[in-house]
Structure 1
Amino acid sequence: MPSRSRGQQVGGYERRRRRELRRAAERDWADGLGVDALLAIFHRLGHVDVLLGAAEQVCRSWRRAVREEPSLWRRIAMVGQEGIARRINRGGMACEAVRRSAGQCESFCGVYAGDDGFLVYLSEQAPCLKSLRLISCCGVTNEGIAEAVKEFPLLEELELSLCDNVAGGFQVFEFVGEVCPQLKHFRLNRNRFDYTEWNRNKDVRGIATMHGLHSLQLFSNHLTDEGLETILNNCPHLEFLDMRHCFNINMDETLLLKCARIKTSRLPNDPTDDYDHEVQSPIRPYIPQEPDWYSDCCYSCHTRHYDSFVCSRKKNYDSDDSGDDSDFYGKTWDEPHFYDQPSRYENDLDKYEKMLPFNMRTFLK
């Protein structure tokens, strides 16, 4: 076979070189983006998508921006991905996001993310926190809130929505008002209003200590007219008040006059179209239906039937209660020195330094 000429060899070399240069140009377009452009892209993706996505695998500059740019994690929002929320370890992801902020986190919003241990970790890693929003975080309790907020003297916004284990009461909220003098916005939203609740003004005394509030949202709270009047007398800077589904408030003339100074106020029966969470029907007391005709026998039988119904309901409720005070992760709330123990997420942070496939498996339960 005849050997290739010098010209053919040079031509083949040039073609290969052009192909390599073209491939390099196609591959390096992402690496040439500036940091500001990369951060704008990642902010549109959301923090959950950044932690679970393949951005770190694109190139070195993308990996450096995701892992070494604290400004990306200054305002953390662990929301979205509702379809696979139960499969994702959101608490671990929240800890990793806070760690990447390098102490510069100013705002944290978590949906189904974290427990009391995470709050303690957040208080240690985010001393400049100004906004804390916890939504549907059933692992958060009064004790965790009290332990964490004392490390947030700059806190201006606090939301505790649909957190079933935050029982409220004046002790924890009074402590919040004492250690967070700059608090301006407070939201305390319950799942639904309960007509059978007997301790109706349990939150009033604590909220009344938050003298600098500018906005207050109490959805499905049990406070009464007296409780609302106490809050209005002690929070003179209120500009927004939302008391929808607070059906123990009757709004007499005195309250209407006091609310007149507030720029925006939502009354108990106002529409809930713009409410951020799901609206559930109130819980009403059971009222047995009266029989059409009365006799001694019929009335006694009806009374026995109602008593047996109440007893059966109570028995079923008691049987559902296992008596175990341990939380979702096996810790006991009344265990001594609970907050001296590190969060379970803190021990796994070294795993998040691995490459993306391992990172994803770490976050999946």
Structure 2
Amino acid sequence: MEAEDMENSIAPPWLELPPEITSSILQKVGPIEMLKSADKVCSYWRRLCHEPAMWRVVKMQNAGADFWDREDDLEKICGRAVECSNGELVDLSLEYFGSDNLLSYIAGRSPQLKRLRLVCSYNVSAVGFSAAVKKFPLLEELHLYYVGISKEAIETIGRSCRGLKSFKLNNQICRHPYIEYDDEAIAIAQNMPELRHLQLLGNKMTNEGLEAILNGCPRLESLDLRRCLNVQLEGELGKRCSSQIKSLRHPEDPTEDYGLDTEMHDFESFDEDYPSGFSDIDLISDDDDDYEFSYGSNYSDDDDDDEMFDY
């Protein structure tokens, strides 16, 4: 064999690494680069990138100047990640993208999901979320930041995810402290008895809603009420919170460790049906019809085996 042929036949150094080390390296590059670049390096990497164990945890964020242009692409990548998980997905986090169609697709293929986190997923509606969450019976942690869901959706979450232990429902804070709304708090109290951890930053509930939560969630260990401007932790209610809750964050406590916008905002108009300051209509993009998902109705309870993406 000629020297040039021998040189070309030498395997690249990364192929000599143990599979567990290579898998760890690939996971650090993140799901987007894994499915757009890393899986095209060689057949060995492609095989590892498509192992279900690599996709038990999926965390994706939409960021950069091309924010809106990338959303459709990110949904397709997320769909591919769900396919690669082969039903083993247990932890999913989506930031600044997501839609009813994507959630429906994920729900039909992720029966083992235990943790779900959505941040500013403006194209997720209360109706779409309610339809999806029915297929997450093992869900233990649900963290929603600036996602518009309704009282009815909270009730559906409680009925469908009986083992839910951690719930975060955080709204953008608006300057309407006189607006009082306890329906969300009461829905939590009546449908989530197993909660250990609850965060309701910026909620419009009053002391009545807080009392309902203390009565309905007896196992609650931590409660975050920061920026809940209608709650007054004084007198007997304050004493009860201090004695019943191990870790209590007060409405006036600082929010530097929160990580998202906690500045107060003025809204030009306010719909009484949506006390959080925005409606489902506000959260639906005009470009929703541009998404090409090949399955049928967004809210059907029947699984559809059609592929959502072209590989």
Q: Which of the residues 222, 239, 259 maps onto 1:240?
A: 222
When residues 342 and 113 of structure 1 are mapped into structure 2, their CA distance, relative to the original with a 3 A threshold, is farther
What do the CA deviations read for 1:5-52 (whole angstroms, capped 9, x no partner)? xxxxxxxx7xx42x5434443x42122223211210122111122233
Any residues of structure 2 matched to 1:169-318 within 5 Å, and which? 169=151, 171-195=152-176, 198=179, 200-208=181-189, 209-260=191-242, 261-283=244-266
When residues 145 and 326 of structure 1 are mapped into structure 2, their CA distance, relative to the original with a 3 A threshold, is same
Over alpha carbons, which structure has the higher Rg?
A: 1
Alpha-carbon distance, 1:255 to partner: 2.1
Q: Counterpart of 2:299? A: 339
DSSP-derived class of the 1:86 partner: coil
Q: Counterpart of 2:289? A: 330
TM-score by length of 1: 0.72
RMSD: 2.8
DSSP-derived class of the 1:105 partner: coil
Structure number having the greater helix percentage: 1
DSSP-derived class of the 2:183 partner: coil
Q: Which of the residues 134, 154, 172 maps onto 2:138?
A: 154
Contact 2:200–2:224 (CA under 8 A) maintained in structure 1: yes
Any residues of structure 2 matched to 1:108-123 within 5 Å, and which? 108-123=92-107
- Where does the alignment leave 5 or more consecutive residues of structure 1 unmatched? 1-12, 287-321, 354-365
Q: Equivalent pairs: percent with the same residue?
A: 32
TM-score by length of 2: 0.84
DSSP-derived class of the 1:85 partner: coil
Q: Is residue 85 from structure 1 mapped to residue 80 from structure 2 by the alignment?
A: no
Contact 2:35–2:77 (CA under 8 A) maintained in structure 1: yes
Task: State the one-letter code of the partner of 2:60.
Answer: M
Distance 1:262 1:237 in 2: 9
Distance 1:224 1:213 in 2: 20
Alpha-carbon distance, 1:257 to partner: 1.5
Distance 2:107 2:247 in 1: 33
Contact 2:133–2:160 (CA under 8 A) maintained in structure 1: yes
Q: Is residue 21 from structure 1 mapped to residue 3 from structure 2 by the alignment?
A: no
When residues 177 and 342 of structure 1 are mapped into structure 2, their CA distance, relative to the original with a 3 A threshold, is closer
Distance 2:125 2:267 in 1: 26
Question: 4+ runs of 1 displaced by more than 6 Å?
Answer: none
Number of equivalences: 288
